[in-house]
């Protein structure tokens, strides 16, 4: 047989085999495509995480964690970094705090456990929400509410001090958040401008509870120095035991000074000098800060913790009197088992909406029941918390405070009247 004919004879059958293989592959693809059309979004996602090459590669390189597609970095800390992410099912933006467990000592791991415990306790429109916790042998992932408006420190550093009206709106929200924490026996201990975040709608979110602790009673004595030195209360520098609430209140006074003036009340070149300034309580408020605001700052920044303004006193102070706070609605259950155990007719409007959306995604009550007891360490809980939070926000649960009136400052009004009188007299003389 000539060489050419031999090659055709050899290649012919082989070519037919390849065609048959391609046909089988096409049939298999069509079968899988048809199957996927009948799968729920949850089933499709689960299948992709097990078999899809692109998804598996994303999981391998860290571009995907659990049900979340990870994007760029938006923050960092000593042992952590924060990245923007999207939930693959709900499409909501979240922030994922990624911690390297191998770099955490025993004390840091205890603090991380306290942070998770504190956030599980809190549900307030001005406190960052915890949706889900994931863990691998090397890393811990905290899936948090995303606040995309930047932090208070950056805003003031780039745009200058806040106007008196906006300062009231911001401070009232911080006050509401800290009051909620203290009512739930959670002490923040690291309140500073960098940990006050804005959402796109200018709603305030108090974040980063890494130094927080839970106490049995608000009068419990603590002994750990926490937080940033410029915001630290005098008792922390005395190496004494201290009560938690007054430490947070002092930090609120420093924050109010910073918001009102654009500068810090206590400034020094070294830590020792800063310590002396704080222990001496030496600071001065610019005269152009309104008198009611000055009085509130002085009422908070008192060296004796027992003499500082209480949170309820702040709420009723002259400076905040015109501010009308929207009372947060009763908190909803953060455990999806509430949907299973509740009488269907007793479900709230938000819960009915979330239950319907879960069913659309393919998450049944059986899924929830089979995962009960896992708390935030469950992907189903993560979906539920994101959806319940979205439902709350859509019903106005995070509305901004409103200034309904203006409390007159007699001194300022007198000065304004005097200047007006001088201007009028001068005008009359010229005329």
- Choosing from 92, 105, 190, 413, which is the catalytic residue? 190
Alpha-carbon distances, residue 384 vs 29, 32, 125, 232 (angstroms): 33, 29, 17, 38
Cβ-in-10-Å burial (0-12, 13-18, 19+) of 65 comes to: buried
| Whole-angstrom distance, CA of residue 64 vs CA of residue 379 | 14
Tokens of 48: 């992709």
Say whether 385 sits in a helix, a strand or coil.
helix
What is the rounded radius of gyration, in angstroms, for the C-alpha atoms of the chain?
29
Say whether 64 sits in a helix, a strand or coil.
strand
Residue 131: enclosing H or E segment and its boundaries?
Answer: strand 130-135
Helices (H), 262-398: 271-280, 291-300, 311-315, 337-341, 349-361, 365-370, 379-394
| Whole-angstrom distance, CA of residue 29 vs CA of residue 161 | 61
Residues 253 and 301 sit within 8 Å (Cβ to Cβ): yes
Tokens of 359: 């069913």
| Whole-angstrom distance, CA of residue 338 vs CA of residue 74 | 34
| Whole-angstrom distance, CA of residue 336 vs CA of residue 91 | 19
190 catalytic residue (yes or no): yes
408 annotated to a ligand binding site: no
Binding residues: 97
Annotated binding site for ATP: 97
Q: Which residues are catalytic?
A: 190
């Amino acid at each position: 047989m000539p060489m050419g004919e031999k090659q055709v004879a050899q290649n012919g059958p082989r070519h037919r085999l390849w065609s048959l293989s391609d046909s089988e592959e096409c049939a298999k693809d069509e079968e899988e495509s048809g199957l996927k059309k009948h799968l729920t979004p949850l089933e499709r996602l689960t299948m992709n995480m097990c078999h899809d090459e692109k998804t598996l590669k994303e999981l391998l390189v860290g571009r995907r964690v659990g049900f979340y597609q990870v994007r760029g970095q938006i923050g960092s800390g000593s042992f952590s970094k924060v990245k923007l992410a999207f939930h693959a099912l709900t499409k909501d933006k979240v922030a994922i705090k990624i911690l390297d467990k191998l770099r955490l000592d025993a004390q840091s791991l205890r603090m991380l456990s306290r942070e998770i415990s504190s956030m599980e306790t809190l549900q307030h429109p001005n406190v960052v929400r915890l949706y889900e916790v994931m863990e691998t042998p090397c890393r811990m992932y905290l899936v948090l509410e995303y606040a995309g408006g930047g932090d208070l420190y950056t805003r003031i550093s780039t745009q200058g001090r806040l106007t008196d009206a906006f300062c009231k709106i911001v401070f009232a929200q911080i006050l509401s958040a800290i009051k909620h924490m203290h009512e739930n026996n959670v002490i923040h201990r690291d309140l500073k401008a960098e940990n006050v975040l804005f959402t796109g709608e200018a709603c305030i979110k108090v974040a980063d509870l890494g130094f927080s602790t839970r106490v049995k009673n608000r009068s419990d004595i603590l002994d750990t120095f926490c937080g940033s030195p410029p915001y630290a209360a005098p008792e922390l520098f005395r190496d004494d035991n201290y009560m938690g609430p007054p430490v947070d209140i002092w930090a609120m006074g420093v924050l109010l000074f910073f918001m009102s003036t654009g500068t810090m009340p206590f400034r020094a070149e070294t830590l020792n000098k800063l310590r002396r300034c704080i222990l001496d309580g030496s600071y001065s408020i610019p005269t152009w800060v309104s008198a009611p605001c000055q009085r509130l700052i002085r009422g908070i920044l008192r060296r004796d913790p027992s003499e500082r303004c209480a949170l309820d006193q702040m709420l009723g102070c002259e400076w905040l009197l015109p501010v009308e706070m929207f009372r947060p609605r009763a908190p909803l259950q953060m455990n999806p088992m509430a949907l299973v155990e509740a009488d269907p007719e007793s479900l709230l409007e938000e819960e009915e909406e979330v239950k319907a959306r879960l069913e659309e995604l393919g998450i049944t009550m059986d899924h929830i029941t089979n995962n009960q007891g896992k708390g935030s360490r469950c992907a189903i809980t993560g979906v539920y918390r994101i959806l319940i939070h979205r439902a709350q926000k859509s019903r106005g649960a995070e509305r901004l405070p409103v200034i309904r009136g203006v409390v007159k400052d007699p001194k300022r009004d007198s000065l304004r009247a005097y200047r007006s009188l001088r201007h009028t007299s001068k005008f009359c003389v010229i005329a």
